[in-house]
């Protein structure tokens, strides 16, 4: 019988002693002094402040950023990542992780081309269904076979992309002009892409599910303590299974969105390293990797933050090499500021 599970599993996250929780919910954790209060607010909402600061900076410095098309283009890029960040957040809340999402996007993208001969409808549905299938398989591995999600995700990350490439013989396949793809790939309402609206609507649904449904609560309870959840009669396996299935399905949808945007099925480049962006966005948005907590709104803003960051490098023509270093520094500093002062 393992004791002290909770500290044992702090590993994915900052190792705060369990007696010293730093939760926004704890009344004790707010500093009594007036000076500390605003600092706490700043820290807990750092992702919003950081995004605001970055946007202001870009508006002043970056040529073309104030162009409404800049926002539009950013939102197009961000929509698929928002979707996979949603699934990722659920997985992280259960103290897991889903590394397969980027490759699942590629597989879904390849599936669009594979199902196209049967019509546009089957292509749309089929690609998302393939994502769901991979998610179910991942869920089976994690929930039933109790494989560590990091490893099952890693194996799927490699295998799903291989499968995607094998399906299309490694090549990119252009999608035909069809209203459905045009709508997803280029349609906007005002400056906001339709796919972003869909992603936001799904984010709202997930946020509601997390807050108000048993499934959402189960996910958090399972993440907070697996052992306690089991004894409290919570359907641990079913919850885990569902979480990964949802994550896979959302990744499938993200793959469809990305393909529509590209006007092509691209098994090679769709979703490469997106899992890392989704994880980073979640953490920056306030969902700790050690589970038991979740912040959907934070994750959405985390995704936007990283997208704006990428865009500011490209638009200022900062060489990729330096951009990568700067991005790394930015992530570390952002998270450091979130932690310190606690």
User: 252-291: which residues touch other proteins (CB under 8 A)?
Assistant: 258, 261-264, 266-270, 272, 276, 279-280, 283, 288-290
Question: How many residues touch other proteins (CB under 8 A)?
Answer: 132
Q: Classify residue 263 as exposed, middle or buried by CB count within 10 Å of its CB (0-12, 13-18, 19+).
A: middle
Q: Which does 83 bind (CB under 5 to 8 A by kind): ligand ATP, other proteins, none?
A: none
Of the residues 47, 50, 51, 70, which one makes contact with other proteins according to CB under 8 A = 70
Q: Which does 289 bind (CB under 5 to 8 A by kind): other proteins, ligand ATP, none?
A: other proteins
Residue nearest to ligand ATP (CB): 19
**Candidates 49-57, 112-120, 138-146, 192-200; binding stretch for other proteins (CB under 8 A):** 138-146
Q: Which does 321 bind (CB under 5 to 8 A by kind): other proteins, ligand ATP, none?
A: other proteins
Of the residues 49, 183, 328, 341, which one makes contact with other proteins according to CB under 8 A = 328
Cβ-based nearer residue to ligand ATP, 161 or 293: 293
Q: Classify residue 120 as exposed, middle or buried by CB count within 10 Å of its CB (0-12, 13-18, 19+).
A: middle
Cβ-based nearer residue to ligand ATP, 29 or 73: 29
Q: Are 108 and 163 in contact (CB under 8 A)?
A: no
Question: Measured from the CB of residue 29, what is the shortest distance to ligand ATP in angstroms?
Answer: 8
Ranges within 180-209 binding other proteins (CB under 8 A): 186
Of the residues 111, 127, 152, 247, which one makes contact with other proteins according to CB under 8 A = 152
Q: Tell which residue, 107, 84, 110, has the closest CA to residue 97.
A: 84
Q: Measured between alpha carbons, how far apart are the two ends of the chain, in Å? A: 33
Sequence-distant (6+) residues with CB within 8 A of 278 are 81, 84, 85, 88, 101, 303
Q: Classify residue 22 as exposed, middle or buried by CB count within 10 Å of its CB (0-12, 13-18, 19+).
A: middle
Ranges within 8-47 binding other proteins (CB under 8 A): 8-21, 23, 25-32
Compute the CA torsion angle 101, 278, 331, 6 (nearest 10 deg): -90
Of the residues 37, 41, 59, 314, which one makes contact with other proteins according to CB under 8 A = 314
Q: By three-state DSSP, how is residue 188 classified?
A: strand
Binding site for ligand ATP (CB under 6 A): 1, 19-20, 28
Sequence-distant (6+) residues with CB within 8 A of 301 are 47, 48, 51, 285
**Candidates 42-50, 112-120, 142-150, 295-303; binding stretch for other proteins (CB under 8 A):** 142-150
Could you say whether residue 176 binds other proteins (CB under 8 A)?
Answer: no
Could you say whether residue 228 binds other proteins (CB under 8 A)?
Answer: yes
Q: Which does 161 bind (CB under 5 to 8 A by kind): ligand ATP, other proteins, none?
A: other proteins
Instruction: For 55, list phi and psi in degrees, rounded to 5.
Output: -65, -45
Measured distance CA(95)–CA(288) in Å, rounded: 9
Q: Which does 67 bind (CB under 5 to 8 A by kind): ligand ATP, other proteins, none?
A: other proteins
Question: Measured from the CB of residue 173, what is the shortest distance to other proteins in angstroms?
Answer: 11
Q: Tell which residue, 21, 44, 146, 33, has the closest CA to residue 96.
A: 146
């Amino acid at each position: 019988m393992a004791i002290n599970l909770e500290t044992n599993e702090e590993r994915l996250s900052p190792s705060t002693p369990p007696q010293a929780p730093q939760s926004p919910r704890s009344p004790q954790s707010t500093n009594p002094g007036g000076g500390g209060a605003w600092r706490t607010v700043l820290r807990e909402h750092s992702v919003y402040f950081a995004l605001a600061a970055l946007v202001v900076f870009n508006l002043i410095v970056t040529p073309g950023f104030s162009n409404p098309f800049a926002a539009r283009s950013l939102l197009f890029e961000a929509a698929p990542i928002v979707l996979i960040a949603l699934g990722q957040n659920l997985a992280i809340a259960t103290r897991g992780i889903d590394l397969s999402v980027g490759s699942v996007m590629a597989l879904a993208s390849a599936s669009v081309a594979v199902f196209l001969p049967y019509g546009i409808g089957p292509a749309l549905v089929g690609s998302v269904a393939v994502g769901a299938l991979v998610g179910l398989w991942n869920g089976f591995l994690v929930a039933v076979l109790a494989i560590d999600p990091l490893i099952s995700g890693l194996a799927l990350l490699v295998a799903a992309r291989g499968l995607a490439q094998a399906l299309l013989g490694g090549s990119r396949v252009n999608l035909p002009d069809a209203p459905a793809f045009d709508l997803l790939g280029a349609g906007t309402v005002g400056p906001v892409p339709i796919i972003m609206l869909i992603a936001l609507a799904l984010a709202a649904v997930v946020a509601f599910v997390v807050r108000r449904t048993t499934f959402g609560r189960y996910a958090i309870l399972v993440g907070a303590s697996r052992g306690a959840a089991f004894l409290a009669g919570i359907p641990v396996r079913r919850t885990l299974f569902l979480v990964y299935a949802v994550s896979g399905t959302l990744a499938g949808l993200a793959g469809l969105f990305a393909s529509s945007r590209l006007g092509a099925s691209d098994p090679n480049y769709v979703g490469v390293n997106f899992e890392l962006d989704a994880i980073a966005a979640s953490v920056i948005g306030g969902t700790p990797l050690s589970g038991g907590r979740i912040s959907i709104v934070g994750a959405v803003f985390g995704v936007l933050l990283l997208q704006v960051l990428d865009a500011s490098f490209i638009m200022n023509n900062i060489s990729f090499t330096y951009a990568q270093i700067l991005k790394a520094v930015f992530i570390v500093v952002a998270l450091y500021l979130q932690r310190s002062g606690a």
